[in-house]
């Protein structure tokens, strides 16, 4: 699933999910990531997918925007994600990283009180271009993140999706329990009212 591409983006009406490719977020793919975020007004109120990185460990300066913070972290190798591309245009991402890189999760106090271990990687945010939703692209992004983790040595991976109990909901930043189950994650426990802690061990691809 992980591959690079240089072809032009196909029209959204004819693009098959199987034709999408995945690349790691890096300085080389920053422009594609930034274009996707800009098309959606910085995503989730201008967050630029920094919220999980910033509360405890990485405060932006008073003069640094969320966009600038994200770009700096990417260029310093401290922000990771699987980017889904249609041709050379990013259409989705799945953010992942170590606990040190992504310290800020919802229900953090409950999570810490009940933790039996801390994972090697967390998956904290999934986002899909509004033109590509309800077509299985979120699953491509999640699978891409797992593949990239495997390529860097694997380890224990956690996600914190919503348990929607089969009900349709608006866009969820962290995916659904059923999505993670299809990718091989197992329920560990719940946190909050509708969030879960799900976990799997990813084997090294090296």
Q: DSSP characters for the chain?
A: -B----SPPPPTTT--GGG-EEEE-STTTHHHHHHHHHHTTTSTTTTTT-HHHHTTT-PPPTT--HHHHHHHHHHTT--EEEEEEETTEEEEEEEEE-TTTS---TTHHHHHHH-S---SEEEEEEEE-GGGTTTTHHHHHHHHHHHHHHHTT-EEEEE--B--TT---S--TT-BHHHHHHTT-EEEEEETTTEEEEEEEEPP--
Contact (CB, 8 A) for 119 and 99: yes
Amino acid 42: pLDDT: 95
Amino acid 199: pLDDT: 98
What residues of the chain score a pLDDT lower than 70? 1-15, 55-62, 166-172
Q: Which two tokens stand for residue 145?
A: 């993140």
Would you list the domain boundaries of the chain? 17-202
Amino acid 164: pLDDT: 81
Question: Is the CATH code 3.40.630.30 the one for domain 17-202?
Answer: yes
Amino acid 54: pLDDT: 73
Amino acid 62: pLDDT: 67
Amino acid 169: pLDDT: 58
């Amino acid at each position: 699933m992980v591959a690079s591409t240089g072809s032009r983006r196909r029209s959204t009406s004819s693009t098959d999910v199987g034709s999408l490719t995945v690349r790691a977020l890096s300085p080389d793919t920053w422009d594609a990531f930034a274009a996707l975020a800009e098309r959606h007004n910085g995503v989730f109120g201008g967050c630029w997918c920094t919220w999980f990185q910033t509360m405890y460990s990485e405060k932006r300066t008073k003069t640094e925007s969320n966009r600038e913070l994200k770009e700096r972290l990417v260029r310093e190798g401290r922000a990771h994600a699987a980017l889904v591309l249609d041709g050379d245009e990013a259409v989705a991402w799945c953010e992942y990283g170590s606990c040190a890189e992504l310290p800020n999760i919802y229900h953090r106090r409950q999570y810490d009180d009940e933790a039996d271990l801390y994972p090697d990687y967390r998956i904290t945010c999934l986002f899909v271009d509004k033109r590509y939703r309800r077509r299985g692209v979120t699953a491509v992004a999640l699978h891409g993140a797992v593949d990239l983790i495997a390529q860097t040595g694997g380890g224990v991976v956690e996600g914190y999706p919503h348990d929607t109990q089969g009900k349709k909901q608006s866009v969820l930043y962290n995916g659904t329990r059923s999505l993670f189950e299809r990718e091989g994650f197992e329920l560990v426990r719940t946190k909050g009212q509708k969030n879960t802690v799900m976990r799997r061990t990813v084997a090294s691809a090296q």
